[in-house]
Amino acid sequence: PEWITPRSKCKLNMAAPDEKKIPIFTVDAFTDKPYAGNPAAVCLLEDVDLTNKQQQKIAAEMNLSETAYLRRLHADDNFSSSSTFGLRWFTPTNEVALCGHATLASAAALFYMMKNPSPQLTFQTLSGDLFAKREGDFISLDLPENTTQPQDKEAYSQLLKVVVGMVPVRDVNFSTVGDVLVRLTDDATRQTLESLRPDTAAMLAAHTQNVIRGVIVTLKGSPENGCVDNQGVTYDFISRYFAPWNGIPEDPVTGSAHTVLASYWAKELGKTEFYARQCSTRGGDLKVRLRGDGRVDVAGKATVVLQGAIRI
């Protein structure tokens, strides 16, 4: 309005003296280039305890697939030198029990922005203790393996029709974390996978026999089907991940989904170390290793693209 002078505008925009703020970062995970990979917000809860409602509101405001909240476990802990923290993840609509890319983003915020020198970080989460350590230019996450069980394709016929249309499906599996894993036949190509455009509203309406966290669509990699990186190196497998049940039409790069994919592809390919790509529009590359002790190492790069403070 005309009555608001430049000086009064400044006063209106100023935070109240007793208004609290928390540090926040936006980190692109599983990429070394800004505006690629999977973005996550990371909040550092230094001297405040946020309610679940506040955390959910901030996640909705950030409107990224996940917002992570790091908290100190003891009064004398600090983000620049301690090595163990509490960690929770919220989508714009709900809290989730596991999120790989926001864990990678959290480790990157501590390593790169807070200059934390710890060789390994421990995160106490709803999925137990998770670990992150530096491996050269990569950050490697130690996550729980999520095994899969074969399913009758007919039980998922409506969902498959919505997600892949007429593209032939080799098999369907259901994972311990609640993901449906859909493998395309080996004659499909990377272009086939990248051209899928599922109607997320129809996905939500499709009948299934299980409670679903998300749908992974995957394809075995080969030079012939276009599954190679910019250097000509072949991906062992590629994938996409759709999770409208958690407010995420498509997740750009999903670390937790690769705890499912590693378990599945180890049996199919007879190996335990993989080079993988998630083929969303933003996309990202991952190094994945199934350890054999019920854990999966998921490694990727990360870059911080925004630093600031958010009012609470």
Give the residue numbers marked as catalytic.
66
Beta-sheet pairing, 273-278 with 284-290: antiparallel
The whole-angstrom distance between residue 222's C-alpha and the CA centroid of its chain comes to 25
Cα–Cα–Cα angle for 255, 182, 258, nearest 5°? 15
Report the distance separating Cα 233 and Cα 161, nearest Å.
32
Q: In this structure, what DSSP letter does residue 18 have? A: T
CA–CA distances in Å: residue 49 to residues 27, 208, 270: 22, 38, 47
Beta-sheet pairing, 273-278 with 237-243: parallel
Report the distance separating Cα 277 and Cα 287, nearest Å.
9
CA–CA distances in Å: residue 64 to residues 40, 46, 152, 257: 6, 22, 34, 17
